[in-house]
């Protein structure tokens, strides 16, 4: 018993000592948030931080950088320094463009403040800025264009000048992407297509983003419509008119023989006038393509031209001894002429590609309706 009593006392003292140490540690830790809050709420730090933020918002970047540098140098233990170091890296990268200082402040942020989620992004940023050091003048011009807020007309001129002056610019793909989208907004689809094509066929492979690819496909399709297929349509129209005129139809064209044929244009004009309320209703029910009434009259006029061409075709001298050939060829040639003329009408419309897209969607809808209508006759009781 005499031996166990001192041992118990020693154990009790050890336990008391451990509890005392834990209590001391908890008390010390409880003071840390208060100290941080005191540093964060320091009047001098708050005042400088607010001035720096105001200068940045007002685009006085030199003043903002000077104020943030003052915080970083004179208030090393303040919470405001965290924000100041981060902003110095951003300002010297995007606004004042001094890559050495940008690397310096971004590296300091990485080493002192970045958590495990931010660290990979800051390592990549520092590696990128080090890679851009030999092309700092080009990068400075690029950042100035981005932050200028110019309209598309001015922006494309500046970007084209940048690529002309610095053809080996590291960020050439980004510049081409900006050009592609800007040219698309300006409705210059050929230039938009060529800009995105330069990215897709570049030495590093296809680097188009999802948004880039969507605009690229629209520009490519629109260019093909207005260039390749438009020339095919023009060739068809010119060829068919040449064929008709070579047959010298005016020699057999008389007023008495044309009276019955004039019924068709008259019916077409009446039908067009009767359909005008339909076009107005399309514009009021949220239809995605707005069709102005002038487009309706242009389309009607084009169809009258096709009907006049048909009149001349049937009066051609070639058909005088070939009546069966006339019956067989006239529908085919008329369909070909109508398709070519109205393709040109659609393709030169400002929203031509979207009209063709909607036509394809509407055609699929009609096909589905016809299939459902056919099934309803096969199912008993419907």
d(CA 172, CA 141): 13
Residue 284 has a pLDDT of: 53
d(CA 113, CA 83): 10
User: What would you report as the CA-atom Rg of the chain, rounded to the nearest whole angstrom?
Assistant: 38
d(CA 120, CA 115): 9
* DSSP-derived secondary structure for 11-59: HHHHHHHHHHHHHHHHHHHHHHHHHHHHHHT-HHHHHHHHHHHHHHHTT
Residue 29 has a pLDDT of: 42
Residue 376 has a pLDDT of: 64
Residue 26 has a pLDDT of: 46
Q: Quick count: other Cβ atoms within 10 Å of Cβ 89? A: 25
Could you tell me if 355 and 346 are in contact, meaning their C-beta atoms sit under 8 angstroms apart?
yes
Q: Which residues of the chain have pLDDT under 50?
A: 1-3, 5, 17, 19-21, 23-39, 41
Domain boundaries, the chain: 43-136, 149-226, 232-350
Residue 37 has a pLDDT of: 41
CATH code for residues 43-136: 1.25.40
d(CA 163, CA 33): 52
Which pairs with CB-CB distance under 8 Å and at least 24 residues apart come from 185-190?
A: 185/152, 186/152, 186/153, 186/156, 187/350, 189/218, 189/219, 189/222, 189/223, 189/226, 190/219, 190/223, 190/227
């Amino acid at each position: 018993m005499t031996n166990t009593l001192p041992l118990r006392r020693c154990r009790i003292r050890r336990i008391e000592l451990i509890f005392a140490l834990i209590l001391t540690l908890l008390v010390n830790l409880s003071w840390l948030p208060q100290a941080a809050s005191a540093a964060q709420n320091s009047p001098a730090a708050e005042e400088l931080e607010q001035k720096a933020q105001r200068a940045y918002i007002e685009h006085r970047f030199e003043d903002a950088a000077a104020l943030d540098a003052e915080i970083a140098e004179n208030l090393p233990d303040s919470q405001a320094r965290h924000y100041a170091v981060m902003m110095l890296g951003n300002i010297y990268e995007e606004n004042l463009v001094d890559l050495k200082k940008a690397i310096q402040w971004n590296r300091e942020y990485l080493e002192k403040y970045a958590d495990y989620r931010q660290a990979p992004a800051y390592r990549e940023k520092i590696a990128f800025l080090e890679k851009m050091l030999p092309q700092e003048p080009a990068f400075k011009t690029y950042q100035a264009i981005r932050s200028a807020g110019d309209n598309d007309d001015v922006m494309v001129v500046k970007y084209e000048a940048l690529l002309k002056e610095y053809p080996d610019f590291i960020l050439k793909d980004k510049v081409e992407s900006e050009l592609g989208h800007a040219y698309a907004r300006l409705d210059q689809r050929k230039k938009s297509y060529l800009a995105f094509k330069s990215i897709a066929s570049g030495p590093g492979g296809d680097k188009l983003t999802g948004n880039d690819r969507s605009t690229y496909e629209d520009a490519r399709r629109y260019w093909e419509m207005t260039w390749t297929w438009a020339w095919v349509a023009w060739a068809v129209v010119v060829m068919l008119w040449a064929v008709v005129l070579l047959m010298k139809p005016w020699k057999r064209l008389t007023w008495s023989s044309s009276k019955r044929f004039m019924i068709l244009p008259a019916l077409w004009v009446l039908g067009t006038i009767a359909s005008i309320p339909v076009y107005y209703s399309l514009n009021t029910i949220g239809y995605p393509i707005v069709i102005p009434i002038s487009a309706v009259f242009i389309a009607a006029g084009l169809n009258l031209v096709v009907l006049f061409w048909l009149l001349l075709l049937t009066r051609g001298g070639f058909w005088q001894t070939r009546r069966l050939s006339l019956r067989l060829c006239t529908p085919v040639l008329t369909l070909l002429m109508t398709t070519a003329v109205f393709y040109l009408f659609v393709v030169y419309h400002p929203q031509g590609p979207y009209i063709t897209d909607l036509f394809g969607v509407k055609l699929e809808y009609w096909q589905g309706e016809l299939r459902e209508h056919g099934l309803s006759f096969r199912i008993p009781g419907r």
